[in-house]
Amino acid sequence: MSNQIVPPYLLENIAATDLPRASRAAQQTLATPREHRAPASRTQLELSVENGDTLVATSEPAPDRTIADAGHAQNLPGRTVRREDDPPVADAAVNEAFDGLGTTFNFYWEAYRRDSIDGKGLALDATVHYGRGYDNAFWNGERMVFGDGDGEVFRGFTSNLTVIAHELTHGVTEDSGGLDYSGQSGALNESVSDVFGVLTEQWSLGQTADQASWLIGEGLFAPSIHGVALRSMKAPGTAYDDPALGKDPQPATMSGYVHTGDDNGGVHINSGIPNHAFYLAASAIGGHAWEKAGRIWYDTLTGGSLEPSAGFAAFAQATITTSTGLYGADAAETEAVRSAWKQVGVLEG
């Protein structure tokens, strides 16, 4: 099953409205299957000359991007329209996708010395103009796929960096051992993507934790929609409140945890709880959130000790253990992480 940035409950609300284009687009988006595919690694190697005549193989961490155009069909990959060394083209969606993939690659390398999604130079491929009015973007295990939006509720999905980084991070999670896409582990899977989605944006803008918006998908909504983004990590449940969309249902604490069988056990709704925990920890630590709070979450995700079925409490304890190893059990960073999980009700106060 492919991951997607717009949750099904939101699309279902839109499908039930009397907005003609948006309703039809949402119905079609919900009905479109998204096959998950296994990616294949590709490491970039260059030969350089040293000491006059010695050939040495060196790995150069640089993105290897290919953008395709589906031409409003739903067949992947589509027609290749831009490769890594090509100049910008006339199509803004192609250039936005190209730039977003590159910024995400650069973020992971500069912040965590991770060479692409798999850490081994995986090529970054994407397809734009998928379907007609397609109201989503997703990672299918092999490539990013972007719809153009319906024009009444959603704009094109290539325009937002948090969307691109969120979806590519699903690939990082998958490569790191995965988090089962159901219930609390599924909500953690979504939350981790939100975390590194906002961190990529903050890194690209040079923002500190107190300067950032902490919004996922800011600017995706059409001007007539009453909402600022798909989700807010700072204040879950406040991202939108609109007749067409309904009210943002995300809880910020365990007191509002939603027990449901929909959306794989509420993975997009309940992700608000670990999202808010990260926001609280990063804000308490201060500075650039990717440097300390992000490092704790990254090392927890990629360290190899996290069970795929981990729930909120197990993940919380793992982040505390990671922070203890990095900074010490009594360090301010560790106390900030511990306090954040208590504030959202995952750990006892």
Query: What is the reported pLDDT for 37?
Result: 52
Confidence at residue 36, expressed as pLDDT on a 0 to 100 scale? 52
CA 95 to chain centre: 19
Confidence of residue 309 (pLDDT cuts 50, 70, 90): very high
What the block records as the tokens of 6 is 């717009």
At residue 171, the pLDDT reads: 94
> Of 305, 314, 319, whose CA–CA distance to 346 is shortest?
314
3-state SS assignment for residue 226: coil
Burial class for 306, CB neighbours closer than 10 Å (0-12, 13-18, 19+): buried
Average pLDDT over residues 73-89: 96
Residue 183: helix, strand or coil by DSSP? Answer: helix
Map out the domains of the chain as residue ranges. Answer: 3-343
Q: Which of 147, 126, 130 is nearest to 67 (CA)?
A: 126
* Helical segments of the chain, H only: 8-15, 20-31, 92-112, 161-175, 183-205, 263-266, 272-285, 293-302, 312-327, 332-343
- On the 0-12 / 13-18 / 19+ scale of CB atoms within 10 A, 93 is buried
For residue 57, pLDDT over 80 is answered with no
Is 110 one of the catalytic residues? no
Q: Could you give the CA distance from residue 23 to residue 107 in angstroms, rounded to a whole number?
A: 36
Average pLDDT value for residue range 32-39: 57
Residue whose pair of structure tokens reads 């804000």 in the numeric block:
283
Catalytic pick among 167, 174, 201, 218: 167
pLDDT of residue 35: 58
**Spatial CA neighbour of 196 closest among 131, 81, 289, 268:** 289
Q: Which of 268, 276, 288, 333 is catalytic?
A: 268
* Cβ 189 vs Cβ 162: under 8 Å: no
> Any idea which of 32-41, 125-134, 299-308 has the lowest mean pLDDT?
32-41
Residue 77: cis peptide before it, omega within 30 degrees of 0: yes
Q: Is 328 helix (H, G, I), strand (E, B) or coil?
A: coil
The architecture of the domain spanning 3-343 is: Orthogonal Bundle (1.10)
Q: What is the pTM of this model?
A: 0.91
More confident residue, 148 or 60: 148
Q: Mean pLDDT throughout 212-238?
A: 97
- Among 2-6, 157-161, 214-218, 223-227, which is the least confidently predicted range? 2-6
What pLDDT sits at residue 107? 98
- Active-site residue flag, 167: yes
The residue among 288, 172, 136, 150 whose CA lies nearest residue 225 is 150
**Is residue 119 over pLDDT 90?**
yes
Phi and psi, residue 109, nearest 5°: -75, -50
Distance between CA atoms of residues 210 and 285, nearest Å: 10
pLDDT at res. 131: 94
C-beta of residue 184 within 8 angstroms of C-beta of residue 157:
no
Q: Rounded to whole angstroms, how far apart are CA atoms 248 and 246?
A: 7
Alpha carbon distance, N-terminus to C-terminus of the chain: 37
